[in-house]
Amino acid sequence: MMIELKDVLMWGLAIIVVIVLIFGGVKYKNSLYEQGTQDGAAYVINEVLKFATNCQQMPITQGNVTINLLPIECINQNCIKPECLG
C-alpha cells in the first residue's frame, strides 16, 4: 500500500484547518468575554449614576457585607443642621 502525495496533502490541509478553527474559536471566546466584562462594567456605572442623580441610597453587597452609597452632595442638600452649612 503506497501513500500518495495527494492524500498527504489532503490530511495536512485538514489538520491546518482544524488548528486554525481551534485558535479562531479561542480568540472569539476571549473577545466575547472581554465584551461582556465591558458591558457589565458600563451597566454598573450607569446604575450608580442613576441612583446618584436622584439622591437615592444605593446598597452595595459583597459576600455578607452591605454598605449604602449616597453622594455627598445629597447629604449636604438634606442637612439643615448648622454644622452642615459650614
Q: What is the pLDDT of residues 37-84, one digit of tens each?
A: 888 889 988 888 888 888 788 888 889 999 888 787 777 665 555 555
Cα–Cα distance list, 34 to 30, 31, 42, 44, 59 (Å)? 6, 5, 12, 16, 26
SS3 79: coil
Q: Is 69:57 a contact under the CB 8 Å cutoff?
A: yes
Residue 64's pLDDT is 93
- Report d(CA 71, CA 51) in Å as an integer: 9
Between residues 84 and 21, the one the model is more confident about: 21
Does pLDDT of 85 surpass 60?
A: no
- Report d(CA 68, CA 58) in Å as an integer: 5
Residue 71, φ and ψ in degrees, nearest 5 = -60, 145
